[in-house]
Structure 1
Amino acid sequence: MIQRPQAFIFDINGTMINDMEYHTKAWQRIFNEELGGNFSWDEVKAHMYGKNAEVLERVFGPQRFTDAEKEELSIAKEKRYQQEYLPQLALLPGLAAFLEQAYQQQIPMAIASAAITFNIDFVLDNLNIRHYFKAIVSADDVLLSKPHPETFLKAAQLMNIDPVNCLVFEDVPKGAEAALNADMSAVVLTTTHQKEEFNHLNNILHFSNDFTDPFYSNLLTDKTLMQ
Structure 2
Amino acid sequence: MKYGAYLFDLNGTVIDDMHFHGRAWKKILSELGADLTYDEVVLQMYGKNAELLERVFGAGHFSDAEVEKISIDKEKAYQEAYRPEMKLIDGLGAFLEKAHQAGIKMAIGSAAIPFNIDFILDNLNIRKYFDVIVSADDVDKSKPHPQTFTKAADILGVEYSKCLVFEDAPKGIEAAANAGMDAVAITTLHPEEDFFRYSNIITFIANYSELELL
Specify the code of the residue in structure 2 equivalent to 1:92.
Answer: I
| Secondary structure of the structure 2 residue equivalent to 1:27 | helix
TM-score of the two chains, using structure 1 as the length reference? 0.92
Other-structure match for 1:9: 7
1:46-88 per-residue CA deviation (whole Å, 9 max, x = no partner) reads 1011100000000111121011111111011001000100001
Pick the aligned partner of 1:32 from 30, 33, 56. Answer: 30
SS in 1 for 2:104: coil
> Counterpart of 1:45?
42
Describe how 1:91-106 pairs up with structure 2 within 5 A.
91-106=88-103
* One-letter amino acid matched to 1:96: G
Are residues 1:130 and 2:145 paired?
A: no
State yes or no: 1:169 paired with 2:138.
Answer: no
Deviations 1:15-72 (A, max 9, x none): 1100000001001111112x12322111111101110000000011112101111111
* Partners of 2:110 and 2:135 within 8 A in 1: yes
In structure 2, distance between residues paired with 1:154 and 1:38? 36
1:223 alignment partner in structure 2: none
Residue in structure 2 matched with residue 217 of structure 1 by the alignment: 212
Query: 1:225: which partner in 2?
Result: none
> C-alpha separation between the residues in 2 aligned to 1:98 and 1:218?
8
Which TM-score applies when normalising by structure 2?
Answer: 0.98
The alpha carbon displacement at 1:155 in A equals: 0.3
- Measure the CA separation in 2 of the matches of 1:63 and 1:153: 29
Q: What is the rounded CA distance, in whole Å, between the counterparts of 1:176 and 1:27 in structure 2?
A: 22
What is the Cα deviation at residue 212 of structure 1?
1.1
Runs (4+) off by over 3 Å = none
3-state SS of 1:217 partner: coil
Identity %: 56
Q: Which structure 2 residue ranges, 5 or more long, are not aligned?
A: none
The one-letter amino acid of 2:190's match is: H
In the alignment, the residues of structure 2 paired with residue 37 and residue 10 of structure 1 have an alpha-carbon distance, to the nearest angstrom, of 31
Task: Answer yes or no: is 1:121 the counterpart of 2:115.
Answer: no
How well do the aligned residues superpose, as a CA RMSD in angstroms?
0.9
Q: Note if 1:71 corresponds to 2:31.
A: no
Letter in 2 for 1:217: E
Count of residues paired in the alignment: 214
Q: Which amino acid aligns with 1:64?
A: H
